Amino acid sequence: MSAASIRQPDPLSSGSRIAVSVSNLDIRFGDKANEFTALSDVSVDIPEGSFVTMLGPSGCGKSTLLRCIADLVHISDGSVSVLGRSPREAREDRDFAFVFQDATLLPWRSVIDNVRLPVEVGKHDKSSYADPHDLLALVGLKGRENALPHELSGGMRQRVAIARALVTRPRILLMDEPFGALDEITRDKLNEELLRVWQGTGTTIVFVTHSIPEAAFLGQHVLMLQAHPGRVKEFMKVDLPYPRSLAMRDTVEFIKVTAHLRSLLEECL
Ligand SMILES: Nc1ncnc2c1ncn2[C@@H]1O[C@H](COP(=O)(O)OP(=O)(O)O)[C@@H](O)[C@H]1O
Ligand SMILES: [Mg+2]
């Protein structure tokens, strides 16, 4: 697949549908006597097909927001809608898939059998699911179908986790620091590959990171959160064309974006 021939439209200006709509969201943890507000009055619309990165200081609620979208956290106030429905309905229909920092592969199953796993569980119509072999080729693991997880590097394991997440053809991919544990060169490579996968599949991606260059390199928009309580600092458009290559990070335009994000992040601390 050639990424060079594909140009990504700007979803916000093309009037496309909203994949995730968060409206005046409050998340509180604990009981009344010991209440902790993790998120306060968070509102954001994420257009379908877009790539949004989420950045903010540690503990500002990035994972909590992602987990709300995924129906893993109880909403205290406000609302979250996923493709026009509740997060629970979206989860039941497998509208989204989650990728965590740890690949969480089953160690006794081969690569291909790990990717197949979501197809085997649940009573969904499986005829529309993607071919696990195609997905492994898409993430650059053709030829490693029969390897076991312990035979792979950390980067390869994360590629398997991404292929596994895509097998049900989710319309939304929620990624919580998926490359956070990898070395920089592997992370760079996976950043480029993820953009290729995004451009090839049209999946909406919401991607949490604490790396400024990663947020700027991947995202059409960066959702910057600030802490205490977690709230939106800015929903910033990244005005850099796709396809993006790693060399773009040396350009003045890219450096301007990261400098702006850095100063915003400093205000969030
Ligand atoms: N289940 C929970 N119970 C109580 N507090 C929580 C829970 N989940 C997260 N928190 C708290 O909410 C805040 C935001 O956490 P988190 O979303 O993990 O932040 P981030 O991902 O931005 O580092 C933190 O102070 C964290 O301790
Ligand atoms: Mg987190």
Split the chain (269 residues) into runs of 10 and give each run's mean pLDDT: 43 72 97 93 97 96 98 97 97 94 95 95 82 92 97 95 94 96 90 92 95 97 96 96 95 97 92
Contact 136, 112 (CB under 8 A): yes
Distance 126 CA to ligand 2 centre (A): 32
Which residue's CA is the nearest one to ligand 1's atom 10?
Answer: 38
What's the CA-to-centroid distance between 67 and ligand 2, angstroms? 10
pLDDT attached to residue 126: 80
Token pair for 6: 């594909």
Shortest-distance Cα residue to atom 14 of ligand 1 = 61
- 3 state DSSP class of 79: strand
pLDDT on residue 207: 98
Predicted pLDDT at 14: 53
Q: Which residues line ligand 1 (CB under 6 A)?
A: 29, 36, 38, 56, 58-64
Nearest CA, atom 26, ligand 1: 59
- The full DSSP string for 175-228 is EESTTTTS-HHHHHHHHHHHHHHHHHH--EEEEE-S-HHHHHHH-SEEEEEETT
**pLDDT at res. 122:** 76
Domains of the chain: 10-95+172-268 (3.40.50.300), 106-169 (no CATH)
pLDDT for res 123: 74
Report pLDDT for 2. Answer: 37
Tokens 């569980």 sit at which residue? 121
Question: pTM here?
Answer: 0.93
